[in-house]
Amino acid sequence: MSLPVIQNPAVVEEDPLDLMDEIESLKKEKDASILAHYYVDGEIQDIADFTGDSLKLARDATKVTTSTIVFAGVHFMGESAKIMNPEKRVLIPDLHAGCSLAESCPPDQLAAFQEQLRANGRDFHTVAYINTSAAVKSLVDWIVTSGNAREIIDRVPKEKEILFVPDQHLGRYLMEVTGRKMILWPGSCMVHEVFSIQDLLRAKRNNPGSVVMAHPECPQNILELTDVIGGTEKMRRHVMATETPTTFLVATEAAMIHPLQKAAPQHTYIPVPGIMASTGETCACNRCPHMSLNTLQKVRDCLRNGGPEIVWRDYYAKAREVLDRSLL
Ligand code: SF4
């Protein structure tokens, strides 16, 4: 007896231009604005009302005049938009777009560790990188981004110790630039963790005279070979201020190349890692798997369906106090 042939339902690829048109009219119909992180696909950034890094978008979220925000990024960013706009409906294209860095610091473990430090008589402030869940934000004293970390750390009274969560690499870098000793939470981002020193050395060899730009979440051995260390906004400002056409090796999420190219098209941008030894071609293996869950189709679907939605939780109010104190 022969088995019936089961056919997979055809996956329908929709035309990106049609999707963009549909999104434009849905935005009007649903009274919505789109906020897109620099790490999502360029075509989503092109239809967004605001693009930026996490700090810029957290600030932009307060300027939105529509009743709905679609946040193309990852979950904790959608939470921040909701925290800043409790009365607005905040939608995200894919609920599974999490963040390995945020997940490396679960709130119950942080609370237990803080308790243990207090029981040992330690007098400290907890400083959290913005890539944390709202539940973690509600447990800390300060929130920083790579753009404002120095300024905020200078605001922590000198007599206090600092517990820095969740990114150990960013924490180590901040200890160096601020001269403050910190207790470091052992978290990291899976994307920035994969940059290997070999990839970077090879990229430098293949591109003599190039300038290395790296995100401070990169491991220390990468930062030691870096010419410009900075968050996404600092990178953008740096390339705009550089007039001579330059080759930049960019060690951060590969979609960052898009806003850099837009801001300063006179330069050449090469994502690191990604220079194939054999062919010299570049690849984008450092794409964040969470950010890339955002697609034009899902942006359209969440506008059309009104979900998934970030709903208000009680602890958002405490997180709001900390965000207000730290970011605005
Ligand atoms: S690049 Fe890293 S820190 Fe950023 S969202 Fe992805 S996993 Fe999180």
SS percent in the chain: helix, strand, coil, step 5 = 45, 15, 40
- How far is 119 from 158, CA to CA, in rounded Å? 21
Provide mean pLDDT across the span 231-255.
Answer: 90
Atom of ligand 1 lying closest to residue 289 CA:
6
The confidence score (pLDDT) of residue 256 equals 82
Distances from the Cα of 119 to the Cαs of 97, 115, 135, 160, 181, in angstroms? 36, 6, 22, 16, 20
**251 in contact with ligand 1, CB cutoff 6 A:** no
pLDDT (tens digit per residue) in 284-310? 444 688 999 999 999 999 999 999 999
How confident is the prediction for the chain on average, in pLDDT?
88
The confidence score (pLDDT) of residue 96 equals 95
Q: How confident is the model at residue 283 (pLDDT cuts 50, 70, 90)?
A: very low
Distance between the two ends of the chain, CA-based, in angstroms? Answer: 71
Q: How confident is the model at residue 86 (pLDDT cuts 50, 70, 90)?
A: very high
Nearest CA to 32 among 76, 85, 74?
85
The 3-state DSSP class for residue 158 equals coil
**293 in contact with ligand 1, CB cutoff 6 A:** no
**191 in contact with ligand 1, CB cutoff 6 A:** yes
Structural domains for the chain: 16-97+292-312 (3.40.50.10800), 102-189 (3.40.50.10800), 195-285 (3.40.50.10800)
Task: Calculate how far, in angstroms, residue 97's C-alpha sits from the geometric centre of ligand 1.
Answer: 10
Atom of ligand 1 lying closest to residue 99 CA:
8
User: Atom 6, ligand 1: which residue's CA is nearest?
Assistant: 288
- Mean pLDDT is lowest, of 94-98, 163-167, 172-176, 319-323, for 172-176
Mutate to test the pocket of ligand 1, among 53, 75, 131, 167 (most ligand atoms within 8 A of CB): 131
Say whether pLDDT at 155 is over 90: yes
**100 in contact with ligand 1, CB cutoff 6 A:** yes
Say whether pLDDT at 164 is over 70: yes
- How far is 221 from 201, CA to CA, in rounded Å? 11
- Side-chain-side CA neighbours of 276 within 13 Å: the count stands at 8
- How far is 249 from 17, CA to CA, in rounded Å? 31
More confident residue, 57 or 106: 106
- How many other CB atoms sit within 10 Å of the CB of residue 313? 14
User: Atom 2, ligand 1: which residue's CA is nearest?
Assistant: 189
Say whether pLDDT at 179 is over 50: yes
On whether the CB atoms of residues 80 and 323 are closer than 8 A, the answer is yes
Q: How confident is the model at residue 11 (pLDDT cuts 50, 70, 90)?
A: low
**47 in contact with ligand 1, CB cutoff 6 A:** no
The confidence score (pLDDT) of residue 278 equals 36
Atom of ligand 1 lying closest to residue 253 CA:
1
The confidence score (pLDDT) of residue 191 equals 73
What does the DSSP 8-state code read for residue 275? Answer: B
- Side-chain-side CA neighbours of 104 within 13 Å: the count stands at 19
**Tokens 């679609």 sit on residue:** 70
- How far is 156 from 126, CA to CA, in rounded Å? 10
Say whether pLDDT at 3 is over 50: no
Residue 270 host element (H or E): strand 268-271
Provide mean pLDDT across the span 99-113.
Answer: 96
- Mean pLDDT is lowest, of 14-23, 149-158, 201-210, 248-257, for 248-257
Residue 92 host element (H or E): none
The confidence score (pLDDT) of residue 203 equals 83
The confidence score (pLDDT) of residue 1 equals 41
- How far is 168 from 170, CA to CA, in rounded Å? 6
**190 in contact with ligand 1, CB cutoff 6 A:** yes
Q: How confident is the model at residue 12 (pLDDT cuts 50, 70, 90)?
A: low
